[in-house]
A and B are shown apart, each in its own frame.
Chain A
Amino acid sequence: MVAPLVEFRSVVKRFDDFVAVEDVNFTIDAGEFVAIMGPSGCGKTTTLRMLAGLEAPSEGNILMDGRVMNDVPAHERDTPLVWQSLALFPFLTARENVEFGLQMRGVGAAECRRRALEWLDRMEISEFAERDIASLSGGQKQRVALARSLVIEPRILLLDEPLSALDANLVIRMQSVLTRLQRELGITFVYVTHSQSEAFAMADRVVIMSRGHISQIGSPKDIYRAPANRFVAEFVGRNNIIAGAVTKTAAKTVTIEGSLGSFTVQTGQHDAPRKGDVARFVVAADLAQISVKKPKSANVIPCSLISEEFIGSIVTLFLEAEDGSELKVQLQERELSKVDLKSATTTYLSWADEHGHYIGVD
Chain B
Amino acid sequence: MTDNRTLRWFLFAYLALVFVFIFAPIFFSVVFSFNSDRFPTIPLGNFTLKWYQTVWNDPDVWEAARTSLTVSLSTATIATALGFATAYTDYRYSFRLKPIYLGLVLLPPTIPLIIMALAMLAWFAKLGISGQVMSIIIAHSVLTAPFAMAIIRLRLSQMDPSLEAAAWNLGANEWSAMRRVIVPFCRPAIISSFCLTAAVSFDEFAISWFVSGLNKTIPVIILEIVTGNIDPQVNAIGSFVFLVSMTLVIIAQVVLMTRRKKEN
Contact = CB atoms under 8 A, between A and B. Distances in A.
Interface of A: 52-54, 73-76, 79-81, 83-85, 87-92, 100-101, 104-105, 132, 134, 148-149, 152
A84 B264 CA distance: 20
Contact of B170 (A53, A73, A100): A100
B185 interface: yes
A101 B170 contact: yes
Given A87-B163, A87-B165, A91-B184, A104 B263 contact: no
Interface stretch (B37-45, B52-60, B171-179, B231-239): B171-179
B262 interface: yes
Nearest to A91: B184
Contact of A54 (B165, B172, B262): B165
Contact of A80 (B162, B163, B170, B180): B170
> What size tier do the contact residues of chain B reach?
20 to 34
B160 interface: yes
A81 B166 contact: yes
A5 B177 CA distance: 28
Query: Taking chain B's interface residues, is the majority helix, strand, or loop, or is none over half, making it mixed?
Result: helix
Given A74-B165, A81-B166, A89-B181, A152 B171 contact: yes
B262 A132 contact: yes
Contacts of B163: 87, 89
A74 B171 CA distance: 7
B263 A90 contact: yes
30 contacts: A53-B168, A54-B168, A73-B168, A73-B173, A74-B165, A74-B168, A74-B169, A75-B168, A75-B169, A75-B170, A75-B172, A75-B173, A76-B171, A79-B169, A80-B169, A80-B170, A81-B169, A87-B166, A92-B184, A100-B167, A100-B172, A100-B180, A101-B171, A104-B170, A104-B171, A104-B176, A105-B171, A148-B170, A149-B170, A152-B170
A284 B198 CA distance: 71
Contacts of B176: 75, 104
Nearest to A106: B171
Q: Which 9 A-B pairs have the closest CB atoms?
A: A104-B171, A87-B166, A87-B162, A101-B170, A74-B168, A91-B184, A83-B162, A75-B168, A75-B173
Which of A53, A54, A74 gathers the greatest number of chain B CB atoms within 10 Å? A74
Interface in B140-184: 160, 162-163, 165-173, 176-177, 180-181, 184
Nearest to B173: A75
Contacts of B184: 89, 91-92
B50 interface: no
Nearest to A92: B184
Given A54-B165, A83-B162, A85-B162, A91 B171 contact: no
A84 B169 CA distance: 14
A343 to B, nearest CB: 58
Contacts of B173: 73, 75
Nearest to A101: B170
Contacts of A74: 165, 168-169
Contacts of B166: 81, 83, 87-89
Contacts of A73: 168, 173
B191 to A, nearest CB: 13
Contacts of A85: 160, 162
B66 interface: no
A134 B264 CA distance: 7
Nearest to B259: A91
Nearest to A160: B162
Given A54-B168, A91-B184, A134 B263 contact: yes
A349 to B, nearest CB: 47
A148 B171 CA distance: 12
A91 B187 contact: yes
B73 to A, nearest CB: 25
Given A75-B171, A104-B171, 14 more contacts: A54-B168, A73-B168, A73-B173, A74-B165, A75-B169, A75-B173, A83-B166, A85-B160, A90-B263, A91-B184, A92-B184, A134-B263, A149-B170, A152-B171
A158 to B, nearest CB: 8
A117 to B, nearest CB: 18
Contacts of A54: 165, 168-169
A88 B264 CA distance: 15
A78 B181 CA distance: 19
A90 B160 CA distance: 10
A52 B185 contact: no
A152 to B, nearest CB: 7
Interface string B181-222: 100110100000000000000000000000000000000000
A288 to B, nearest CB: 44
A359 B123 CA distance: 77
A317 B176 CA distance: 58
